[in-house]
Structure 1
Amino acid sequence: MIPNSVKQEIRQTVDQPITSIRQVSGGSINQAAKVTLADETICFLKWNTSADPHMFVVEEKGLELLKSTDTPLRIPSVLATGETDDGTGFLLQEFVSEGHSKPNSASNFGQALARLHKHHNESYGLDHDNFIGRLPQSNTPHDNWVDFFIQERMEPQLQMAANSGKLGSDTVSRFKAMYKKLPDIFPDEPPSLLHGDLWGGNYFFDQDGNATVYDPAVYYGHREIELAFTHLFGGFPSNFYSAYEEAYPTSSGFSQRKDIYNLYPLLVHTNLFGGSYARQVESIVKQF
């Protein structure tokens, strides 16, 4: 259950003790619990005893950046982040109760994501690095999407996978060949603010049917990489996509490009979990 060091740090940070605890799912990376503070505020707490505790600090920054856009997306408020003396990082945030989708929930979600993606920046990247899962994510700014995609997304994960033996030299060579084709494949788009880790496990509909998103890996990037990720693990409802396209149409040929974009999350999963993800990466890159 929750380490005593985390409980003590929370008490000092929010000036209240935890009065009740119920363990809940924290995904594949963190441990988590639904906790109640002395003033009866109900919160969601997640912690990690082995990952870089700075992970939660930059997650808070990402959540605040998403919240600052004032879109209809519901972004849980952060109450505290911190690190204990033993190196355990934690994040305490508003607890949002999961509900069910209503007739317009998915289409409203698609429109809200389109509004988020209309928040543009001068360069691709961010003014600080963060994490994707528990892996470092470099956000060094670039003026060109292809350069950013190769140098800050593909190469760090590809080299990590190659160095650990999860991917072989033939696959690495195929990536190098694919890189040369990317300028003719990716359409020009301004850098859009992205959630950065938007798949079916990082959103739900609240009690009012509003889309609630969490666990971001925020940066400014090509919006198609975000849309591609939503297709990766089962996809989102069809009216989510139709509403998005109505609000912010994508360029023709996206369905042919999405596998290239999804090499990034698949490389991340290869480095985190190995197995079938490496085979998916190899299958995609062989096509190019």
Structure 2
Amino acid sequence: MNAALSAAVERMASDAIGGRFGLSSIEPVAGGDINTALRARGAAADAFVKLRPGADLAMFEAEARDLAALAACEAFRVPRVLGCEAVGDDAVLVLEWLDLRPLRGDAEGERAGHALAALHRLPTETHFGWPYPNFIGTTPQPNNRHDNWPRFFTLERLAPQLARAAANGYHGALQRDGERLCERAAALFLDYQPAPSLLHGDLWSGNIGMLEDGTPALFDPAAYIGDREADLAMTELFGGFPMSFYVAYRQSWPLHEGYEVRKGLYNLYHVLNHLNLFGRGYLAQAERMASRLATELAR
């Protein structure tokens, strides 16, 4: 056990709980695709520790603030932040440990669907964006504020990812169709003016879970104020959500006509991000999505 890390975890957790944490061990756990994931075992409770080399603290600081924002929704459990600081050459984020499992069955899917609608209905500001930039995976995510949603999504989401793709050597059809999308995306919103909603921002099935008492939980956010359809769209991108989830959400807050087309626009952002993070294996999918949307907007 790294002595400096152990001492920092003990101190941060103890300060947060207002008493001695009583650290006994720190051990690796699953979930460390981007960061090292650890379980810190304490005398009365455990903590989840994220470790990132290079003291890149900005990513964890943004995550801590995003988690605090999502915690305003009482329908979800969100892990409490116990500490966030640099320890030697590493950035460390310490969170409350939650015993989570994937959503199972219709009842749990229904509960999660209603909870997501409750999150999206929280009172929020009237503009789109976020008070600070954050991250989607390891990619910086700009969040400059806009009153116009299509403009926000074009300038703060699509355009930066397309620029990264070009810098990574992905040119041709992807950039041609991407440029057309940026020019014409507003046409998808002529009859739809989304209400600003608090979004999780990275809502695939790996970032939502269920506690044993039946409470749904959210974690690993890339939060911002946006169109609620963007969260719904991502749940469909990689699957893993029961149909009851979608039925319950629509019962709580029906979706507007045109969602089936707009969800392709929203999911293109995430596919472009995967292309930029993980490489050429996502290129064909990104090109197909951009081409389909460009064709739809040319009609």
TM-score under structure 1 length normalisation: 0.92
2:24 alignment partner, SS class = strand
Matches within 5 A, 1:269-280: 269-280=274-285
1:44 aligns with 2:48: yes
Describe how 1:177-256 pairs up with structure 2 within 5 A. Answer: 177-186=180-189, 187-256=192-261
1:184, CA displacement in angstroms?
1.6
Question: Aligned runs of 1:8-23 on 2, under 5 Å?
Answer: 8-15=7-14, 16=21, 18-23=23-28
RMSD: 1.7
* Counterpart among 52, 61, 66 of residue 62 in structure 1: 66
User: Unaligned stretches of 5+ in structure 2?
Assistant: 15-20, 295-299
Structure 1's 102 and 137: CA in aligned 2 closer, same or farther, altered over 3 A? Answer: same
Q: Please say which of residues 103-112 and 42-51 is displaced more in the overlay.
A: 42-51
Looking at structure 1, the residues matched to 55 and 289 of structure 2 have their Cα atoms a distance apart, in angstroms, of 30
| Partner amino acid, structure 1, of 2:286 | V
1:48 aligned partner, one-letter code: R
1:176 is matched with 179
Query: Greater shift after overlay, 175-184 or 144-153?
Result: 175-184
Distance 2:29 2:244 in 1: 30
**2:98 is aligned with 1:93:** no
Structure 1 segments unaligned to the other structure (5+ residues): none
Offset at residue 21 of structure 1 (A): 2.4
In structure 2, the residue matched to 1:262 is 267
Moved over 6 A (4+): none
Question: Secondary structure of 2:247's match?
Answer: helix
Partner in structure 1 of residue 131 of structure 2: 127
Q: What is the CA–CA distance in structure 2 between the aligned matches of 1:206 and 1:248, rounded to whole Å?
A: 24
Question: Structure 1 residue 108: deviation in Å?
Answer: 1.1
Distance 2:260 2:188 in 1: 12
Deviation readout 1:154-193 (Å, 9 max, x if unpaired)? 111111111011x214321211112232112132111110
Counterpart position of 2:297? none
In the alignment, does 2:80 pair up with 1:77?
A: yes
1:116 matched residue in structure 2 = 119
Aligned position for 2:4: 5
Letter in 2 for 1:177: R
- Structure 2 counterpart of 1:157, which letter? Q
CA distance in 2, matches of 1:169, 1:93: 44
Q: Distance in 2 between matches of 1:52 and 1:267?
A: 23
> How far, CA to CA, are the matches of 1:50 and 1:195 in structure 2?
26
Cα offset for 1:206? 1.3
Deviation, structure 1 residue 277? 1.5
In 2 relative to 1, CA 103–154 (structure 1 residues): closer, same or farther, beyond 3 Å?
A: closer
| Structure 1 residues 11-51: Cα deviation after superposition (integer angstroms, max 9, x where no partner) | 333345631223111242011111112x3321111111147
**Percentage of identical aligned residues:** 36
- Per-residue CA deviation, residues 94-128 of structure 1 (Å, 9 max, x unaligned), is 11112463652111110110011112321100111
Most deviating of 97-106 and 205-214: 97-106
Q: Deviations over 1:69-103 (max 9, x none)?
A: 33x111111111111232x1111111111246365
2: CA distance, partners of 1:267 / 1:3: 37
What is the CA–CA distance in structure 2 between the aligned matches of 1:4 and 1:232, rounded to whole Å?
A: 42
